[in-house]
Structure 1
């Protein structure tokens, strides 16, 4: 997903996301204020892969391959109890993070033409974005308001394929983690 604050996304762009619904009561209001993807229809999540293939490449065969690929992974529980930061991003770090990394690595091994974040970053760092701001005091405020309400624990049992229409993201389908 585009990390800008314009709220505009490329039509046909896709993303594979582990939706973390359990975190919405905690982070949802802050994401609405400080993460443009929230108002574009993206729920709280840990990204498995973005961008994935353009939607015109996601045919029945790709859907079947994704179903098989994700189905080979077991569901797991993740705990979000620690805030961390990138330069202008406040996020919750999942524990363990290895199951998220394994999912990303499996998709990239099958579709190497779709590296995480378009190849912008060398390391995969699973995270649940809470707020973007170039002002550190804004991130400090969000972190202070939420820290006492941690942890959030989530059962990750599916990965969702989201598609952008240029303004909003829509869940196209889900793939169960079956193990």
Structure 2
């Protein structure tokens, strides 16, 4: 090998070994004027992905294999009620508790808007899956629809949670004297 080709290799080797292996980044920075590389920081362990139970499993939605209607639905239909519930949980997921609370039936024994919002303080993530609504049932001038719901997410301490239940939505039947607001589906009970 020619001497002129070996000279750059010798200079590179000398630069790498100068001052030992510790602090080479700082020494290189001093010579080149470039900032020293930041020390390596280990990334926090990734949280395990959320994996809610599948339909038919304990804690999951019912395994109802009846095909849903793909026909357009009206706000007064059972699917209209399920749509209200889907909006409700989407608002909760976004942290818009005031708008979500407004989709609940007025109740003297229910939580105030502030209490409702505070009930989500312990969650880092909150999601829901909505099942197929029941047929509409009627009683005493009111209409009811039951919708299975699976909620899941992560607590602020990092632990995942999942639960399933049924939410009942209620609206006033189209009786004389009822207001448009009374004829809208609202969350009546959840369990």
Q: Larger % of strand: which?
A: 1
For CA contacts below 8 A with separation 6 or more, give which structure has more relative contact order: 1
Compute the TM-score of the two structures, normalised by the length of structure 1: 0.25
Compute the TM-score of the two structures, normalised by the length of structure 2: 0.24
